[in-house]
Structure 1
Amino acid sequence: MINGTIEALIAVTLVGSFVVMASSDRVAPKLATVWSLLPLAGSLYMWANFDGEKNALLSDGVLAFESQVNWLSLGPLPDIQWYVGVDGISMPLVVLTGVLTTLALVSSWTPIDERQSQFYGLVLFLEAGLLGVFTALDFFVWFVFWEAVLLPMYFLIGVWGGPRRKYAAIKMFVYTNVASLVMFIGFAALVFGLGVDSFGLPAVTEASLGANPAADTSFGFSVGALKAAAFFAMFAGFAVKVPVVPVHTWLPDAHVEAPTPVSVLLAGVLLKMGTYALLRFNFTMLPEVANANAPIIAAFAVISIIYGAMLALAQSDLKRIVAYSSVSSMGYVILGLVAYTLYGVGGATFQMISHGLISGLMFMAVGVIYNTTHTRMVTDMSGMADKMPYTVAIFIAGAFGYMGLPLMSGFAAEFYVFLGSMQAKWGANFGDIHVLFTAVGMFGIVVVAGYLLFAMQRTLFGEFRLDTDYEVGEAPLHDVAPLAVLLVMIIALGTAPDIFFEMIRDASGPVADLISGGGA
């Protein structure tokens, strides 16, 4: 059974990558941008014609744009299938990937002035890998895309980054590669321990949910022990990609050294790989383990929220401030997932989309200011609103979105997460401790508002001052236009969240129902 839509989407993006790499530096920026409109149009076509139902990994799910054919036979091992499709959780992430890639390419026109064909080709290669991660439903196909994303990101940081780019790129590579190995071992143990005859994620989910925890596995210990070991191995692996405190230290270095368009994709889409994988593997395949350890997981989430926000408060580099904000924001995703309620899981997924748009806008705005001033330090400038009024206005609006201003997507996402977290059903043994975790998480918004308002007050208002000799004026239209597009999308999702949340809710309900009372 082959639908062909997803295959065409990935293939067109991959072909575009090689075409752009083979082109001259003079035409590469415009060629890559125009070519990126093809996968963007494809993702919007899929969204407009989406007809999936329920959740892709659960037995009653109906996939959209599904393709499933045998690919490789491995003898006594389970066969590998080419298996792709989307549901209400993955579909918005596919659209997010298409939108942010095109806007990131436009924002690259000013800062990227060398090896342009290679840079733009690698960005399209990165997009193809991301599309594969969010659509693959066979583990080995998914893992190929998962690892393929790492290669272009390594080179995009290591070649076009800042003074410490090699250190940042190698650190990211080592962290994420070791994490992938730990995650791979955990998943493989689950498959072979349960005796599943397929690497298809729905088949593994069905076998895991139906297995008796007291039964013995082929490894000589109980299914319950196997599930617990697999859960924590996969959680550790995915936590690095999210990233969760304390395995977050690679992210600020990567953001600071990466070119601005790469930071946009790193924060806007790549971090969502980790939270998306946690939702699919840990919280869908192994719900009983997640629920049994809910306070521990929620503690990691809340620590990430508060610690990330506090670190942002201590920074003087605008890029580092936004980078640590991402650590804090991803904590809300985990807090929603572990609640196992409709609005918890759905809000976590909506937060992925909202954060992708808002963080993309914030990094782009910082990049536009840097292109003009050649500094990102809060102490080096003030009064930028008088010189760059349009850029600064959009920057302020994006910051308010980060703070959860009503009628913006950040408010809707955080409201859903907190609503779902307050309804969490963790069992009588844990009492009402979920209320405490939610309250502490909500306090994180206060800290976010503190450091963003402080940074904006220092850099954007007051008498104009710049500790460099560069002439400051409004940025070119092609730099400001992507910011305006993202702001419109943030407001649109804030005022009409059902643009995505209706399909998200449909796919999140079955996950919440895996724990008794989760659908409340």
Structure 2
Amino acid sequence: MMIEALILVTVASAVAVMFADDERAGRLAFGLSLLPLVGSLLMFLGFDGSGNALLGGEIAYETQLSWITLGDLEVGYHVGVDGIGLSLVVLTTVLMSLALLSAWTPIDERQSQFYGLMLFMEASLLGVFTALDFLAWFVAWEFVLVPMYFLIGIWGGPRRKYAAIKFFVYTNVASLVMFIGFVALVFGLPVNTFDLPTIAQSLQAGELGSLAGIAPETLKAVAFVAIFAGFAVKVPMVPFHTWLPDAHVEAPTPVSVILAGVLLKMGTYAMLRFNFTMLSDQAQAFAVPIAIFAVVSVIYGAMLALGQQDLKRIVAYSSVSSMGYVLLGLVAYNLYGLGGATFQMVAHGLISGLMFMSVGVVYNVAHTRMVGDLSGIADRMPLTATVFTAAAFGYMGLPLMAGFAGELYIFLGGMQSTALPYAPIFTALAMFGIVIVAGYLLFAMQRVLFGPFEADTDHEIVPAPVTDRIAIVALVLLVILLGTAPDLIYGMIQDAVQPILTIGGGL
């Protein structure tokens, strides 16, 4: 019952914070967020699952109960984790606690509602990464939109309403497309359940029949495209990415930390579960178009970042580029590719969260994020400048940092892939993105942090508050820890992706 306890504690914490006084809401929220954090770490230390949760592996912390019957359809409650799900559960709880700590400085109105919504979002995210029944998973998936919409729309910047509505419409329409594709697939199977392991194993057994006169192979291909398109918006992949920069720029920095660090991983996690596990044959059939999507996202996202002056927009477009690497690892469809893609989800979650948090610390002091308005602030904010530099180098793939390990696994997987035609060419093109990343991040660092001090702002540039410094230092240490000891999670990730390769014929 560990998963249930984790989610219920988070929901109860959210309710308690909602009714707390504004003056105490931030500290209460941070203190209560440590409960699911400790719980997830205890789950990590006691993890004894093996294999893949959808393909008959030993599921850790599993609970399966009957719920309701809709005609011939059985809807159940089924939760559990394998190495993939647990890695993202831990990422969620870690980033949420640090994001709440970093919110103490910028959030100064309606604090109890803000922190309560953040905790409600955490509970929904935990549901996404642990649910093994489609209906329960979809409820958690959709509920994430609600607190995020209000967090952007109420506490965001000048164009917050536009950004919040755009975020909600894009992702909600994408969810509808994905839902239709998946349900059509289920109705073509001889199953009377939404249980994801049952559906996955039925698909792998070749039990898909026709639906409304549509042949099984055609149904499978159409469903794959619909599901992939729905998740591509959430990732987001080019050309479905336009909601992301607006959401990031208008969102408060702690919300941007969770948006980049965890919400984007919902899309790639779901692709891995649905497209590359349940529909592995279609994933290989569509390998070349998917690889083109991946490479275009890497290069185009990096080029867009190169032309930005707002530090938040730079990091936002960097996320589009980085998610392209994850997709490339998935489509490589071998142990290094799938394992590296999952590892990169965690690594990018930490590094992107660190980048947004560092930008937020600068903005809290200077009240500007524009590259042209700041210069030489390293002398005034040495610790923040050091962490910002470390985060940038982590994005560039500096060895002994988490980003290097993730990208190395993906590139090894890409070069060795036999499932993806012309894999070395796609991989080499994607590697060129690192050069562009280095270009715009080095420019931003040189302009903002170093050189003669200048600040086009009426606010004095002083060291950041202690709580902000604690949050960014803790996060950079985690990035270094995962970079120097990737086997902390990579071993259990490999164990979870190996069965996918077995059923899909990958290497």
Q: TM-score band (shorter)?
A: over 0.9
Aligned equivalents of 1:66 and 1:101: distance in 2? 24
- Equivalent position of 2:417 in the other structure: 424
| Contact kept in structure 2, 1:162 and 1:257, CA below 8 Å | yes
Would you say 1:165 and 2:166 are equivalent positions? Answer: no
Aligned equivalents of 2:195 and 2:143: distance in 1? 19
| Correspondences of 1:136-285 after superposition (within 5 Å) | 136-211=131-206, 216-285=209-278
Which of 22, 36, 44 is matched with 2:33 structurally? 36
- Equivalent position of 1:102 in the other structure: 97
After alignment, is 100-109 or 192-201 more displaced? 192-201
- Equivalent position of 1:327 in the other structure: 320
After superposition, what is the alpha-carbon deviation per residue over 1:362-398, rounded to whole angstroms, capped at 9, x for unaligned?
0000000000000000000100101100000000001
Letter in 2 for 1:21: M
Letter in 2 for 1:106: L
Would you say 1:72 and 2:65 are equivalent positions? Answer: no
| Contact kept in structure 2, 1:269 and 1:356, CA below 8 Å | yes
The number of residues matched between the two structures is: 507
- Secondary structure, counterpart of 1:66 in structure 2: strand
Deviation at 1:212, TM superposition (A): 5.9
Deviation at 1:256, TM superposition (A): 0.1
- Secondary structure, counterpart of 1:90 in structure 2: helix
Would you say 1:5 and 2:2 are equivalent positions? Answer: yes
Would you say 1:303 and 2:296 are equivalent positions? Answer: yes
Q: TM-score, normalised by structure 1?
A: 0.97
- Equivalent position of 1:18 in the other structure: 15
Aligned equivalents of 1:320 and 1:33: distance in 2? 28
Deviation at 1:515, TM superposition (A): 2.9
| Contact kept in structure 2, 1:72 and 1:80, CA below 8 Å | yes
| Contact kept in structure 1, 2:189 and 2:207, CA below 8 Å | no
Letter in 1 for 2:161: K
Which of 449, 468, 491 is matched with 1:502 structurally? 491
Would you say 1:113 and 2:120 are equivalent positions? Answer: no
Q: Structure 1 regions of 5+ residues with no counterpart?
A: none
After superposition, what is the alpha-carbon deviation per residue over 1:44-76, rounded to whole angstroms, capped at 9, x for unaligned?
0000000010000002x1000000000111122
Q: Structure 2 regions of 5+ residues with no counterpart?
A: none
- Secondary structure, counterpart of 2:317 in structure 1: helix
Aligned equivalents of 2:68 and 2:339: distance in 1? 35
| Correspondences of 1:463-474 after superposition (within 5 Å) | 463-474=452-463
Deviation at 1:5, TM superposition (A): 0.7
Deviation at 1:356, TM superposition (A): 0.3
| Contact kept in structure 2, 1:382 and 1:462, CA below 8 Å | yes
Aligned equivalents of 1:453 and 1:513: distance in 2? 42
Deviation at 1:210, TM superposition (A): 1.2
Aligned equivalents of 1:330 and 1:209: distance in 2? 28
- Equivalent position of 1:45 in the other structure: 42
- Equivalent position of 2:434 in the other structure: 445
Q: What is the root-mean-square deviation of aligned Cα atoms in Å?
A: 0.9
Aligned equivalents of 2:179 and 2:460: distance in 1? 52
Deviation at 1:197, TM superposition (A): 1.7
Letter in 1 for 2:45: A
Aligned equivalents of 1:424 and 1:70: distance in 2? 41
Deviation at 1:109, TM superposition (A): 0.2
Aligned equivalents of 1:198 and 1:473: distance in 2? 59
- Equivalent position of 1:133 in the other structure: 128
Deviation at 1:509, TM superposition (A): 1.0
Aligned equivalents of 1:230 and 1:143: distance in 2? 16
Aligned equivalents of 1:257 and 1:195: distance in 2? 47
Deviation at 1:508, TM superposition (A): 1.0
Letter in 2 for 1:245: V
Aligned equivalents of 2:466 and 2:87: distance in 1? 28
